[in-house]
């Protein structure tokens, strides 16, 4: 499983990229709105920093508007992936982007059927939202399992991005259940590094070293 970071904050993206393991970035309108910057300018900054896929979401609700917006976004850099909501209009737009060889990430996936439809329309990625399902008392992780099994059984090469990740257990479970990618809030990426026994081990090694030197 690969790691994306789920933020539009350029400092956080640079910090994550410096780790040498970042395979891409996802943004959404809420994350961009927090930054108070021009969306296109921020995408230029992000795409010049990160080589992998950078998801930029359209806000139109009709396919024609989505395609127009998406073409403008895709013109910013070759690694832009157009993020499209899981709606009937979104599916129509995904098919058109696919015909134009523009990559798409179908977002707000909450069922296996939605993921299958998106894949068949030509989506490069689907984003099932784990945390938001957990929030309403449903099992987000079983959705990853179902999508993974369906895509494997039908030889579908659309990649599964485990999204709406809230904590490190989501990350381990998403990898076990077959997600190709997890898109992580920067805070969760940092949490993955930490373990109290690692900290205690470093402290002990250093104190033993100092006793002898």
> Which spans of this chain sit near ligand E4P (rule: CB under 6 A)?
6, 26, 28, 107, 127, 129, 131-132, 163-164, 183
The DSSP secondary-structure symbol of 28 reads: -
Closest distance of CB 196 from ligand E4P, Å: 26
**Contact of 177 with 144, CB cutoff 8 Å:** yes
Query: Could you give the CA distance from residue 28 to residue 49 in angstroms, rounded to a whole number?
Result: 18
Task: Please report how close the Cβ of residue 135 comes to ligand E4P at its closest, in angstroms.
Answer: 8
Looking at the Cβ atoms of 135 and 208, the one nearer to ligand E4P is 135
CB 108 within 8 A of CB 143: no
**Centroid of chain to Cα 199:** 29
Residues acting as catalytic residues: 83
b/e per residue, 67-84, with b = 16+ CB within 10 A?
A: bebbeebbebeebbbbbb
Identify which of residues 25 and 199 has a Cβ nearer to ligand E4P in the complex: 25
Residue 31 or 156: the one with the smaller Cβ distance to ligand E4P is 31
41, two tokens: 């300018």
Q: What is the C-alpha separation between 67 and 75, in angstroms, rounded?
A: 12
Residue closer to ligand E4P, measured from CB, 28 or 158: 28
79 CB-near residues (< 8 Å, 6+ apart):
24, 47, 50, 51, 52, 53, 54
Return the number of the residue (28 or 53) whose C-beta is nearest ligand E4P. 28
Region for residue 149 given its phi and psi (left: phi exceeds 0; alpha: psi -120 to 50; beta: otherwise): alpha
CB of 202 to ligand E4P, least distance (A): 32
């Amino acid at each position: 499983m690969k790691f994306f970071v789920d933020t539009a904050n350029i400092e956080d993206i640079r910090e994550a990229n410096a780790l040498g393991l970042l395979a891409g970035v996802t943004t959404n309108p809420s994350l961009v709105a927090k930054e108070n910057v021009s969306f296109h300018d921020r995408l230029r900054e992000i795409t010049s920093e990160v080589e992998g896929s950078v998801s930029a979401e359209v806000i139109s609700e009709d396919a024609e508007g989505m395609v127009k917006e998406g073409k403008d976004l895709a013109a910013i850099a070759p690694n832009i992936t157009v993020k499209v909501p899981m709606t009937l209009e979104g599916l129509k737009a995904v098919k058109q982007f696919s015909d134009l060889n523009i990559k798409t990430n179908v977002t707000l996936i909450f069922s296996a059927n939605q993921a299958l439809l998106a894949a068949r329309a030509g989506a490069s990625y689907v984003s099932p939202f784990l945390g938001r399902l957990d929030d309403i008392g449903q099992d987000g992780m079983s959705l990853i399992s179902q999508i993974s099994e369906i895509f494997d059984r039908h030889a579908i090469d659309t990649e599964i991005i485990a999204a709406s990740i809230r904590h490190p257990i989501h990350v381990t479970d998403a990898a076990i259940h077959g997600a190709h990618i997890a898109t992580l809030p920067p805070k969760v990426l940092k949490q993955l590094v930490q373990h109290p026994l690692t900290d205690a081990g470093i402290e002990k090694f250093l104190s033993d070293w100092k006793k002898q030197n």
